[in-house]
Amino acid sequence: MDLIGNAAAARQALVTMWTIRRFEEAVDDLFARGLMHGTMHLSIGQEAVPVGACLALSDGDYITSTHRGHGHCIAKGARLADMMAELLAKETGYCRGRGGSMHIADVATGNLGANGIVAGGVPIAAGAGLAVKMRGGREVVVSFFGDGAVNEGAWHEGVNLAAIWDLPVVFVCENNHYGMSMSVSRAFRVKQLSERAAAYGIPGVTVDGNDPQAVHDAVADAVTRARAGEGPTLIEATTYRWKGHSKSDKNLYRTREEIEQWRERDPIARFEQRVAATLGDQEIQSCRDEARDAVRAAVRAAHAAPDASADSLTEAVYAR
Partner 1 sequence: MTAVAEQTRTLTYAEAVREALAQAMTADERVFLLGEDVGTYGGAFGVTGDLVHRFGEERIRDTPISELGIVGAAVGAALAGMRPVVEIQFSDFTAQAMDQIVNQAAKIHFMLGGAATVPMVLRAPAGSGTGAAAQHSQSLEAWFAHVPGLKVVMPATPADAKALLLAAIADPNPVIVLEHKLLYKQSGPVPEAATPARLGEAAVRRRGTDLTIVATGVMVPRSLEAADELAADGIEASVVDPRSLKPLDGKSIVDDVTRTGRALLVQEAPKTAGFMAEIAATIGESPAFGHLRAPISRLCGLDVPIPYAPQLERAAVPQVADIVRAATDLVRRW
Report yes or no: 69 and 104 within 8 Å, Cβ to Cβ: yes
- Dihedral sign of CA atoms 130, 135, 136, 140 in order: negative
Nearest to 125 by CA among 164, 76, 174, 158: 158
Distance from C-alpha of 262 to C-alpha of 296, rounded to nearest angstrom: 27
Smallest separation, CB 35 to partner 1 (Å)? 21
Establish if 195 lies at the interface with partner 1 (CB under 8 A).
no
Beta carbon nearer to partner 1, 82 or 266: 82
Tell me which of 18, 23, 31, 94 binds partner 1, using CB under 8 A: 94
**Applying CB under 8 A, does 280 fall inside the site for partner 1?**
no
Q: Which residues pair with 142 in a beta bridge?
A: 63, 170
Q: Is 311 in the site for partner 1 (CB under 8 A)?
A: no
Rule CB under 8 A: is residue 316 a binding residue for partner 1? Answer: yes
Cα gap 226→233, rounded to integer Å: 8
- Stretches 126-134, 182-190, 212-220, 249-257: which one binds partner 1 (CB under 8 A)? 126-134
CA 62 to chain centre: 12
Burial state string for 295-309 with b = 16 or more CB within 10 A and e = fewer than 16 = beebbebbeebeebe
Binding segment toward partner 1, per CB under 8 A, in 131-139, 198-206, 265-273, 284-292: 131-139
Nearer to partner 1, 126 or 173 (CB): 126
Q: Minimal distance in Å, beta carbon 136 to partner 1?
A: 10
What is the spatial distance between Cα 16 and Cα 11, in angstroms, rounded to a whole number? 8
Chain residues that interact with partner 1, rule: CB under 8 A:
62, 64, 93-99, 103, 105, 107, 112-113, 115-117, 120, 122-132, 134-135, 141, 153-154, 156-158, 160-161, 164, 316-320
